[in-house]
Amino acid sequence: MANAATLVVDANPDSREGLSRIIKEAGFPVLTAGSGSEGLALLTTLRPSVVIVDMDLPGIDACDLIHQMRLEVTDVVLLALSSVQDTAHVVRTMRAGASDFLAKPASATTVQSAIRTALTRSEVSGADLAGGGEADRFWPDLDLLYRNSERMRGVEDIVRRAADTNATILLQGESGTGKEMVAKSVHYISQRRDRPFLKVNCASLPGDLLESELFGHEKGAFTGAHRRKPGKFELAHRGTFLLDEIGEMPLGLQAKLLHVLQDGRFFRVGGSERIETDVRLIAATNRDLAAVMATGHFREDLYYRLNVVTIAIPPLRERREEIPLLVEHFLRKFSRQYDR
């Protein structure tokens, strides 16, 4: 089950420390993150029961962060803390996946009460699982994913044969075909199922930020690097790491990724300490990497290092028999989520 910690995601050190102190005074363990990406990594790795997200995080849309957190861990209790209190903002925040909305400045009593309520809710949710362990709790719906079309049963056959190897997997398919779900099924079928599953979208960050996200950085490595930050390769140790949109990775980073795949070692940005990592890498793309490679925008040696097990995921238009079952699944899911 998720641990009983509360994760505070707040870029302001004073505010973050104040919230941490309030939570500790109530007897609850606390985790802290100074950015949305760090908070997301801690959520997927350590699975706290409650997350408090400061909606005034600079440089990102906090609603998008909440939505991503909700997708990553469906049963986490997400508390939004915001200085903006107009109805439209509250509605958008709740629709993104927030469980509750706290107005700034929130008193110690308000924060502690909200966490107690959230933990009670988590305990009830956990009891509904009928004793399932952590692996079962986050297990993908394999029946929904594979069993309703002949094309996807072929995909499942490759997944099951590859899951307990350490072979790198390349997932190819159009956007929206379910590449991430297939990657998660590889992880949860494999012997790494009790370890972290992390992901990074290579198209969502510029090259310098993507390098820091993957490999971490040391304090002072660049402007704004106020403290050491572990990267996803470090956080995903002994687990599975999904690199989505791998075809968008800059050439310079491709060389560094190749070395990690070959040696299992890397340096944080600005660091001299060699970090060792044991990570099962899954790469995903909606592009024809062989064609990208022919244009010189993708390294040939990296392509062959990634292309050990290739799984082509067909689009839904070629699996139309699945549509009624998907409709039924999402109707049930959102009926439960919105109590309708």
In terms of DSSP H, where are the helices of the chain?
13-25, 36-46, 62-72, 87-96, 108-127, 134-137, 142-146, 150-162, 179-189, 207-215, 232-235, 251-263, 289-294, 300-306, 323-337
pLDDT higher at 125 or 184: 184
pLDDT higher at 63 or 59: 63
Give the span between the Cα atoms of 69 and 84, in whole angstroms. Answer: 21
Instruction: Give the pLDDT confidence score for residue 249 in this predicted structure.
Output: 93
Do 267 and 273 form a contact (C-beta atoms < 8 A)? yes
> What are residue 316's DSSP bridge partners?
none
Instruction: Give the pLDDT confidence score for residue 120 in this predicted structure.
Output: 66
Average pLDDT for 135-142: 50
> What are residue 240's DSSP bridge partners?
197, 280
Per-residue pLDDT for 299 more than 90? yes
pTM for the model:
0.60
Backbone angles phi, psi at 266, to 5 degrees: -160, 170
Instruction: Give the pLDDT confidence score for residue 141 in this predicted structure.
Output: 66
What's the pLDDT band for 282 if we cut at 50, 70, 90? Answer: very high
Per-residue pLDDT for 121 more than 80? no
Q: In one letter, which amino acid is 246?
A: I
On average, the pLDDT of the chain sits at: 84
Average pLDDT for 169-182: 92
Do 102 and 54 form a contact (C-beta atoms < 8 A)? no
Sequence-separated (6 or more) residues with CB below 8 Å from residue 3:
29, 46, 47, 48, 49
Instruction: Give the pLDDT confidence score for residue 126 in this predicted structure.
Output: 39
3-state secondary structure string across 181-219: HHHHHHHHHCCCCCCCEEEEECCCCCHHHHHHHHHEECC
Instruction: Give the pLDDT confidence score for residue 182 in this predicted structure.
Output: 93
Instruction: Give the pLDDT confidence score for residue 125 in this predicted structure.
Output: 39
Average pLDDT for 293-305: 93
Instruction: Give the pLDDT confidence score for residue 54 in this predicted structure.
Output: 92
Structure confidence by residue, pLDDT tens digits, 208-249: 889 988 998 888 887 777 778 888 898 888 899 999 999 999
Q: In one letter, which amino acid is 57?
A: L
Percent of the chain residues past pLDDT 90, beyond the cut: 32
Q: How far is CA 95 from the centre of its chain?
A: 19
